[in-house]
Each structure stands twice: as C-alpha cells, then as structure tokens.
Amino acid sequence: MGSNIKYARNGDVHIAYRVFGHGPRDLVLIPGTLSHADLYWEFPVNQYLLKRLTSFARVIVFDKRGQGLSDRVAEQTLEERISDVRAVMDAAGSPRATIFGWSEGGSMSLMFSATYPERTASLVLCGSFASIRAEPWAVSEEQYSRLLRRLEGHWGEGVLIPINAPSRRDDEAFVQWFGRLERASASPGAILALMRANYEIDVRDILPAIQAPTLILHRIGDRTVPVEAGRFLAQRIPGARYVELPGDDHLLQAFDQAVLDHLIDEIEEFVTGARRDPEPDRALVTVMFTDIVRSTERAAAVGDRRWRELLDAYVGVARRQLERFRGREIDAAGDGLFAIFDGPARAIRCACAIRDAAHPLGLEVRAGLHTGECEVTGSKVTGIAVHTGARVAAAAQPQEVLVSGTVRDLVAGSGIRFDDRGSHVLKGVPGDWRLFAVTSA
C-alpha cells in the first residue's frame, strides 16, 4: 500500500519515514506518544485511516527521533523535532503540506507551523494541547510523576490503554496489540525521557502567530486531554475552525467507525474545500446479527447499574471475538451487534464463539447469518442481504446460531455441521427461506 521504509537525515540522526498514496496534495502525519513506521500501519483502523486520507492526499508518516525505526536518541528538543519534520519533507520531495498532529504531536505541529509558515499549507490538530502543566489542563508534578512510575513499571503491557482508551481496556486482543506497539516504539527509558520533555513544553505564546488555516478536532469527553485544552487552542489561534466529536477515548485507534468517518470527513472538507460522498463498493459479504435473549426481563431483574456492567462485559468479549475472526463491527446498539465478514465460515465460528463467551456472564445469545451482495460505504452497509440477515437472527432460538441456506452451501467442506430448521417466511424479504442451525463449528 505504501512505499518501503526510507530514511531522512538531519545532522547525524536518521528519521524513518514512509509515503502512502499519490494524491494531488501532501499531508504529513505527526504522531502522538507512540509510532512505528511498520507495525503501526498494519492495524486495521490505521489502514482504514490511510485509505480515506490517500483518497485526497499523498500521506507522509515518520517516527520521531528516539522512537520506532528512527535512531534511538536519548535527548531531544522541540526545535530538533520540528527540524526532523522539515528533513522528512525534503527527503519526500514535499515543498508544502498540511500538517496533521494528534495528541502530543500537536505541539510539534504548532511549532512547525509557526516556524515554517511557507511550508505549512494548513494545520490540523486532534486531541492536542498547548501545555500539560499550565491551564486549562494543569497536571501537577506529583500527578505526572505518578503517571511516569506507572508507565515505567508496566511498559509493554498495554499500560496506555486504560488511560487513553478506557472503552477498550477489557479487549484482550487490542491490549495485546498495543502492548506490542509500546515495546516496538520505545524502551521504558526512552519513553520516560520523551514524557519528561513533553511536560516542560509550553507553546501557548506562539498560538497568535499561527498563520496557516487551522482545524481543531477534540472529543468532548476525552479522558486524557480534557476538551478545554482543545477549546483553548481554538480561542487563541486566529480564525481556527473548531469541531467537537462525541466520545471519551483519546486514542485514535479506539474511535468507533462513525466518529472516525466524521473526523476524516471534516479533514477532507477542510483540506480540499469539499466533502466528497464516497462511492459505494459492492461486495459479497456475510452479515452477522446477534442479540441477547430476554434482555428486558434480565435488565429488570438485575437493575440498571448491573445490567450496564453486563452489557459492557458482553460487548468486550464480542469485540475480542470479532478481532480474532477478522470481523468488522458495523453497529452495536443496545444489546444487539451487527458485523460483516469476508468469509462465511469465520463468521459462523465467530457467532458461536460470542455465544459461548457470553454464557459465563449468565447471558443467552442468538445469532443469524446470511451471505449476499451489499453496498459498503465507509461505516454503512446496506442491501437486501442485510435485511435478510436480521430476519434470520429474529427467527433463531436462544443459544442458536441460525444461517440461511446460502451460507450453508458456501461452507460445504469446512466441517461445520447443521440441523435443517425447515422453510421460513422472513418478514419483508420475498420468497421462502430454508434455514439451518449450526450444531458443530
């Protein structure tokens, strides 16, 4: 998808970078706390981010000095970091670009924009801040020291997830991936040096000097960098456009599909002047619907608080199985889950795994699957196959994984076994449908 790893030289330091796409304009991504020019872009959410961004720009990514595949330098200043950005742009043949910084990459982006206005076409910030130790964030030295001790004691275990992505803290596969990214991105000593340097950075005084058109995006419930930090930037950068996004997670990779699309839509419109409606892709997919049986009665029996805890636990185990079987979550409303797969056998095994994982929680789950051609547009999946899958799920019994005859036929030879449940009329779907219950996956 992108170029091989290349290296830009800034003095004696080599900075690893890659270029993705061939768009008519350049966009330089300045990462947050972690980066790895290889591993980081293997994660499905990051690949989707690149797919959307490269539809309108050539995207340049890099590892900050001391991290990832760049030279492991013990000490670094903000001046050296922005000089590295310029070196990467020179090596990539980019005279001028949109600078897109997230989280602690925001201070680098602001400093670069103020120092090199002739090379900054526009500036985009997400979840960023001007200072950690000053208002409106104002983290005390004692609080920050506690954070550093926690990072040092648990680095490489996904220690940043409870801080930056609380909604994914029980997602074992996600935490494992992030732990791997922590280990690959930096050693404990290197990350502590970076974090100590970040605490001293304060770019509040340069904000009025920003000349580039600026877009600031911030999640309204951000648990790491409070939304007031984003509002502070917007108030002090002349002419800045400010957009608040729903949700609590700070980590970009934990954004749900709808919020991620919203973020990218805002960036595309800001950079290009137009928000293009993505053309739908028609693809053969297997749709899976699951829901909790007798959820209303169970909620009434256990009370609102306990029911919310059970739902959160259920969604967590369901997402782990989706990750395991390479499914893509489309919607998770109430006690229902809608996901798609590019293979019906994996979809069946995922549905069975979700059902089995929910059982220890005291929850009974039913699932329905169908394979057909759908229109896939960003986070939206539409078509008669979706309605058919939902109706198949509605016909399932408690603890049953029910599939259409189409699915049964497509997995012939997989070893998956079924019981014939006979012919059914599915509400709103023409014709009679032969349905089959999975007995062994």
Mind listing the pLDDT tens digit for each residue in 371-383? 998 988 767 888 9
How far apart are the C-alpha atoms of 107 and 112, rounded to whole Å? 8
Residue type, 282: R
Maximum distance among all Cα pairs of the chain, rounded to whole angstroms: 73
Predicted confidence at residue 1, as pLDDT, reads: 52
Centroid of chain to Cα 162: 15
pLDDT average, residue stretch 131-148:
93
Predicted confidence at residue 75, as pLDDT, reads: 66
Predicted confidence at residue 409, as pLDDT, reads: 92
pLDDT average, residue stretch 107-127:
96
pTM for the whole structure: 0.67
How far apart are the C-alpha atoms of 58 and 23, rounded to whole Å? 4
Predicted confidence at residue 98, as pLDDT, reads: 97
Predicted confidence at residue 279, as pLDDT, reads: 58
Angle (CA) 331 273 53, round 5°: 50
Q: Sheet containing 214-219: give its strands across.
A: 6-10, 13-20, 58-62, 26-30, 97-102, 120-126, 214-219, 241-245
pLDDT tens readout for residues 37-53: 988 888 888 888 998 99
Centroid of chain to Cα 169: 14
Residue 78, pLDDT > 70, answer: yes
Q: Which CATH number fits domain 281-440: 3.40.710.10, 3.30.70.1230, 3.30.70.270, 3.40.462.10?
A: 3.30.70.1230
Predicted confidence at residue 276, as pLDDT, reads: 66
Centroid of chain to Cα 205: 32
Predicted confidence at residue 412, as pLDDT, reads: 87
pLDDT average, residue stretch 157-172:
88
What number of helices (H) and strands (E) belong to the chain? Answer: 14, 16
Where do we find the tokens 């350049």? 26
Question: How far is the CA of 5 from the CAs of 51, 92, 100, 131, 353, in angstroms?
Answer: 18, 12, 20, 32, 38
Average pLDDT, the chain: 91
Residue type, 346: R
pLDDT tens readout for residues 190-220: 899 889 989 999 999 999 999 999 999 999 9
| DSSP string across 270-286 | HHHSS-PPPPPEEEEEE
How far apart are the C-alpha atoms of 300 and 272, rounded to whole Å? 51
How far apart are the C-alpha atoms of 418 and 391, rounded to whole Å? 19
Q: Of 232, 331, 334, 328, whose CA–CA distance to 286 is shortest? A: 328
Residue 280, pLDDT > 70, answer: no
Residue type, 333: A
Predicted confidence at residue 344, as pLDDT, reads: 93
Predicted confidence at residue 100, as pLDDT, reads: 97
Domain boundaries, given as residue ranges, for the chain: 6-272, 281-440
pLDDT tens readout for residues 284-301: 899 999 999 998 888 888
Rg (CA), the chain: 24
Q: Quick check: 134 and 64 in contact, CB under 8 A?
A: no
DSSP state for residue 22 in the 8-state scheme: -
CB atoms within 10 A of CB 406: 17
Q: Quick check: 7 and 14 in contact, CB under 8 A?
A: yes
Torsion from C-alpha of 299, 300, 304, 308, nearest 10 degrees: 0
Predicted confidence at residue 172, as pLDDT, reads: 82
Residue type, 245: L
3-state helix, strand, coil in the chain (%, to 5): 45, 25, 30
How far apart are the C-alpha atoms of 254 and 257, rounded to whole Å? 9
Asked if CATH classification 3.40.50.11710 holds for the domain at 6-272, the reply, yes or no, is no
DSSP state for residue 79 in the 8-state scheme: H
Strand partners, 68: none
Residue 365, pLDDT > 90, answer: yes
pLDDT grade, residue 74 (50/70/90)? low
- Residues with Cβ within 8 Å of 304's Cβ and at least 6 positions away in sequence, in order, are none
Instruction: Strands of 21-104 (E only): list them.
Output: 26-30, 58-62, 97-102
pLDDT tens readout for residues 229-277: 999 999 999 999 999 999 889 998 888 878 888 999 999 999 998 766 6
